[in-house]
Structure 1
């Protein structure tokens, strides 16, 4: 959310942010919070909303509403079931909103390649030899102008059903994000729904050339595509299928999505996709005008005007038109897959085009190379990037009892100048579930990590569906290995299904431990509207203890905004309590015996004495103290 432009906005806020938090604020917090009027873009409706730190709820759309529990490896949709757009009922959306959610990222919405036969709806069937899993990868998009037919009650009306979901989401006070995957498309890309006059990717390509600026793809001239071979993998788990014959017609062969240039990619390549050409020659040189360095300091308007002066590769315009199409349908933003594999100049062009159409559009990108972070934010005009390499990785190590608290703080400090742009998460569709044996083996380890991840900076927070109830991701769905909830096959998600409770979305089948975990997340995420959380600056806090293990396992910091001061400490030790003192920033002045209360876990009232607080934390416990002058 990019409308936090001045301190005047925050001066409207008072410090009873939510009823869940107000009951535990320090004495004197009695004024009601004033709501700020916001307007939704596209088809959204006007709602009352507080200024809030952005919270993204990522949901794998196909899995969310599925109630079937057979979980047969490589199971067909008739066996394992599939969720629908309609499963996101007003009640379901209300419960998602209860987590402080401002944006829902509906993952896997676009029509991608899949094995299930929808030919009776005029949808060409896909070949299992170039589809991963039975339900297919959401990142092998087959038609950018329609949605996955699996997700509709009536596949012939699937766009209308998605439009209705956009409207319901807006009515619930949240915005809609979907994926755009600019680096590659499905090997069998063929849009049957493109607006009149829109040409398919590759339709006008000169296939006699490996490269041409306005070709959408790269070609292995003179060779036909060969399906990768492997003794360890057979499509559909070696099930007989009429199209599973080890062949796929593509002549000439195209380069593979991850850049493999051979007619027969390796089984570990992204063989189900083909790479998109943005005017980057095979030798890596650029066939388009470069963006001047000083545009890193220029605004969206300047970027937009710069690109209007130049003729650009065809693929640039194709993706701009795709983005416009979805913005016109009411989508509020995009998450870009593998953005670093596409030139930063393209992002300047695309993001400027999007922002000129909708200044409040939410732009999130997957970039894993820290050396590129600043270029993609400043020149590419990304709103947010994944803070994975560094912050997430060091936090994961701490959760696994192998890392050090100082490593997490150092990772955060390394991006301090761009920290508000670095989105934080603990789970997503690419990462292992916290509760999986391969990660932490205990969903409760997500509690201290989520406190740190959510409260350490102004950056958005992302939650993955099932995370708040301790989903393990241990189902063998077919393609890929357990520990991550499958994105390739039809499967049920047990802990999430217990919360869903047959479509009641009331947690009726959760265990007591799962209920407590979700309640903890709800309470933590309710702090999203505190001004110090939305806009506070980070300050160091010293952990004093003679126990070396305490200094390694306890992570503490402070944040300060206007009259609000927040102190956070989390114990990442899975088995041991720690007692320590926190030395507060030297410029914080407090009266003797200032009383503070814990906003999060209702720890006993504490007094600040001589600029320090003495704290005892149980394993996996945290404190969040709010101080006010």
Structure 2
């Protein structure tokens, strides 16, 4: 399967299945991954065709402090549970993307334990800062790998290949911005040789996205600038901010196809971020019609709320446990229906993924933009009117204060 037209639904397995907060609390292998099987029906019902899993490898706590990249976290299950999830996803036409944490590891990572014990070969895997080990952004339990060490690149390549061989289709590379682009280029080149259709994208928050993509050799990076402009411009009734971001986004799409989103596991949910809940419609329309690889964070498709807080446990509200089945999930059916309508539209217009984007009209509360096929054979115009005004034209889809029009 090709990734080009994949629309991702993103879930964090440890948190979504109610796993223990720490590996130390767990008692043996707990087969929780099968709890996600009914949610494959939500992916299909939504109209998406990709499942992005948060970390599934053995870790100390939340999954981003990996201790063994080759082992499924016992709190989630084992290889058989994982293989079944991948097989059932593929059986529904759903691709699977894994989250790989390769900037840092947990302190129980075997090579780090050896380094602490004085093994000089193991010590070469980790960066030093002064008299101690370097850590990730001040988190003492996340030990930074040394990406100048060839053995680290060999390890990452081996991990990616191992799980690609088991059937996964792509990788999200966590904290990619903290890793030298030369390292990613080495890794990406190796993966291209063995798995040419694997999709690799990096988490990049700030900076020159196009340069990072080009220098790293990755297929894509996250488009945080667009995410911020969406909710900020809607809250402030200042669509000039969004217009500016769209012009910049158009230039990015000429270089590569960015990963687009209005919510993810690291930020306050879009339904809570927006001061006027009606603007959820505008955010969903933008996600569905703008060029990019769209990602929907689990729960956003039914308008769940949750505020991220900068404290211990501050992610809990945005990373809730999923009920046993989608039918048991609270939420707004109208928000789900809108997601379904707009994703269906995008599936009918697959060329939107890398369409040519042009802003046609901008005012504080009104914006019109055009997205055209690269060959010019088709185009649509999208109009947002934050005042809820009437929008004239031959609408492919329309709601209160927005429309997607035949161009």
Task: Report the TM-score range of the alignment, normalised by the length of the smaller protein.
Answer: 0.7 to 0.9
**Cα contact 1:433–1:483 (8 A) shared by 2:** no
**Cα contact 1:202–1:215 (8 A) shared by 2:** no
Q: Quote the Cα distance in structure 2 between the aligned partners of 1:100 and 1:414.
A: 28
Residue 179 of structure 1 aligns to a residue in which SS? strand
Could you list the per-position Cα deviations for residues 532-563 of structure 1 after superposition, in whole angstroms to 9, with x for gaps in the alignment? Answer: 424432233225xxxxxxx2122221122243
Q: Which residue of 2 aligns with 1:215?
A: 124
Q: Which residue of 2 aligns with 1:254?
A: 133
Name which of 334, 339, 354 aligns with 2:176. 339
- 1:453 corresponds to 2:302: no
Q: Quote the Cα distance in structure 1 between the aligned partners of 2:238 and 2:316.
A: 24
Q: Which residue of 2 aligns with 1:62?
A: 14
Q: Quote the Cα distance in structure 2 between the aligned partners of 1:559 and 1:570.
A: 14
Name which of 321, 328, 331 aligns with 1:492. 321
Q: Which residue of 1 aligns with 2:109?
A: 189
**Cα contact 2:264–2:297 (8 A) shared by 1:** yes
Q: Which residue of 1 aligns with 2:33?
A: 85
The runs of 5 or more residues in structure 1 that have no matched partner are 5-52, 114-135, 153-157, 191-199, 224-252, 259-268, 280-311, 544-550, 582-595, 604-617
Larger proportion of helix: 2
Residue 47 of structure 2 aligns to a residue in which SS? coil
Residue 342 of structure 2 aligns to a residue in which SS? helix
Residue 396 of structure 2 aligns to a residue in which SS? coil
- 1:554 corresponds to 2:366: yes
Instruction: Call closer, same or farther: CA 1:77–1:3 in 2, change over 3 Å.
Output: closer
Name which of 247, 252, 270 aligns with 1:434. 270
Residue 599 of structure 1 aligns to a residue in which SS? strand
Q: Quote the Cα distance in structure 2 between the aligned partners of 1:566 and 1:522.
A: 19
Q: Quote the Cα distance in structure 2 between the aligned partners of 1:363 and 1:451.
A: 26
Q: How does 1:440-479 map to 2 (within 5 A)?
A: 440-441=274-275, 443-457=277-291, 459-473=292-306, 479=312
Could you list the per-position Cα deviations for residues 512-539 of structure 1 after superposition, in whole angstroms to 9, with x for gaps in the alignment? Answer: xx01110110110112221442443223
Q: Quote the Cα distance in structure 2 between the aligned partners of 1:213 and 1:64.
A: 34
Q: Which residue of 2 aligns with 1:402?
A: 236
**Cα contact 2:17–2:36 (8 A) shared by 1:** yes
Q: Which residue of 2 aligns with 1:600?
A: 397
Q: How does 1:149-548 map to 2 (within 5 A)?
A: 149-152=74-77, 158-190=78-110, 200=111, 203=114, 207=118, 215-219=124-128, 253-258=132-137, 269-279=138-148, 313-371=150-208, 373-388=209-224, 390-399=225-234, 401-402=235-236, 404-419=238-253, 420-436=256-272, 439-441=273-275, 443-457=277-291, 459-473=292-306, 479-481=312-314, 484-486=317-319, 492=321, 497=323, 502-503=324-325, 505-506=326-327, 510=330, 514-529=332-347, 530-542=349-361
Instruction: Call closer, same or farther: CA 1:202–1:319 in 2, change over 3 Å.
Output: farther
Instruction: Call closer, same or farther: CA 1:335–1:409 in 2, change over 3 Å.
Output: same
Q: How does 1:128-147 map to 2 (within 5 A)?
A: 136-147=61-72
**Cα contact 2:107–2:143 (8 A) shared by 1:** yes
Per the TM alignment, residue 254 of structure 1 is displaced from its structure 2 partner at its CA by 2.3
Q: Which residue of 2 aligns with 1:626?
A: 406
Q: Which has the larger radius of gyration?
A: 1
Q: Quote the Cα distance in structure 2 between the aligned partners of 1:483 and 1:58.
A: 16
Q: Quote the Cα distance in structure 2 between the aligned partners of 1:482 and 1:202.
A: 29
Could you list the per-position Cα deviations for residues 282-313 of structure 1 after superposition, in whole angstroms to 9, with x for gaps in the alignment? Answer: xxxxxxxxxxxxxxxxxxxxxxxxxxxxxx62
Q: Quote the Cα distance in structure 2 between the aligned partners of 1:359 and 1:450.
A: 32
Q: Quote the Cα distance in structure 2 between the aligned partners of 1:342 and 1:469.
A: 35
Q: Quote the Cα distance in structure 2 between the aligned partners of 1:180 and 1:492.
A: 22
Give TM-score, length-normalised by structure 2. 0.87
Instruction: Call closer, same or farther: CA 1:173–1:272 in 2, change over 3 Å.
Output: same
Instruction: Call closer, same or farther: CA 1:330–1:278 in 2, change over 3 Å.
Output: same
Q: Quote the Cα distance in structure 1 between the aligned partners of 2:240 and 2:372.
A: 20
Residue 168 of structure 2 aligns to a residue in which SS? coil
Give TM-score, length-normalised by structure 1. 0.58
Instruction: Call closer, same or farther: CA 1:577–1:416 in 2, change over 3 Å.
Output: closer
Instruction: Call closer, same or farther: CA 1:409–1:318 in 2, change over 3 Å.
Output: same
Q: Which residue of 1 aligns with 2:59?
A: 112
Could you list the per-position Cα deviations for residues 176-230 of structure 1 after superposition, in whole angstroms to 9, with x for gaps in the alignment? Answer: 111111110001213xxxxxxxxx4564789598xx9980013468x6xxxxxxx
